[in-house]
Structure 1
Amino acid sequence: MTIRVSILLLFLTGLIFTSCRTEETEFVQAPEDETLAANSSIASLMQRTASNDGSIDNIVDRANCFDLAFPFMIIVNGAQITVTSQEDYAIIECVFEESEDDNDSLEIVFPVTIILADFTEISIANTNELNNYINTCNGENEEDDDIECLDFQYPIIASVFNSNNELLDTINIENDNELYQFIENIGENDIVTIEFPITV
């Protein structure tokens, strides 16, 4: 019986040693030119392209570094207009063109909300507060941070791998605000790849 027990113990010991294995961690690095790194020049250019272009409503606020959030009310040459979309800026131009004198007036009805280049929303209670923000903007024909000569077509799909917690996530980006915030939140331990092609 001792021979059987010895053989059985020897067999079980052999089985234990051969069945145990050590896991080998192999980390495959994505090619540099296919990743979007935090604070890289590509990330900066993409973020500047996605930033909120405040020049679309210059006819109202004369400021290119923020725009007014819809809806808002204005009084143009005595006529009250509720602005609910970018198309309403053409109405303002028509009212200005109808007037034969060059003393056009435009008054913003407060409170309003402004949207900064990073999509932060700030409530503005009066003209003085608005003027303080206007004074921080560059002039009409001066260079600013946002890239206006192209726009991304959405959706854009990105894959994010965090090397700390080894989680892979796929993100569907639907607009400039989401892309701006996505790039803003890329961490040093994140490996981000964009699914190409993207359309601009």
Structure 2
Amino acid sequence: MQAYIAGFALGFSLILAIGAQNAFVLRQGLRNAHVFAVCLTCALSDAVLIAAGVAGFGALAKAVPGLEGVMRFGGAAFLLWYGARTLWAAWKGGEVLEAGEGKAGLRAALLTCLALTWLNPHVYLDTVVLLGSVSAQYADKLGFGAGAVSASFVFFFGLGYGARVLAPVFRRPGSWRVLDLIVGLTMWAIAGKLIWM
């Protein structure tokens, strides 16, 4: 049980920071667009990565020359593009939260979600490398991994469905512009950190 709690606490603290993936889940929750599918995709992706880290894949990823650079620059390119798209939406404005409006198709939502997850090097650093390394300190590595996976499920579903509390605020176009501006700048900041780290 101690390993489970430690895994949950560390997993939750790592995922708590705002990032590209979390911002996307928040937007989907605010729009009430494919929330369950997006949250499940994020949580299951994390589960696969955490399992790989606990199983020792982090050491392998470090050992493959050039893999870290490819992940870093590929992720930065995607975040720059997505950030530019979001900043353009902030500049353009005019979006409001109304039922049934502004919803992209399920396929587009899931592809964006998968790209924001699997093309983000920070996800690998947090889930595979860091959680994998810390899990080695516990005799009950399975319990540690289960705790970290549980934290992902709790966080993503809490964020996706909890966003509805903010829905009244996002009935005003100005709120969307502010959110898009924050999300776009966050994406660019993360991309900048990836390029110059």
TM-score of the alignment, normalized to the shorter chain, above 0.5: no
Which has the higher Rg, Structure 1 or Structure 2?
A: 1
> For the superposition of Structure 1 and Structure 2, which TM-score range results when normalised by the shorter chain?
under 0.3
TM-score, L = length of structure 2: 0.27
Structure with higher helix content: 2
Structure with higher strand content: 1
Determine which structure has greater relative contact order: mean sequence separation of CA pairs < 8 Å that are 6+ residues apart, divided by chain length.
2
TM-score, L = length of structure 1: 0.26
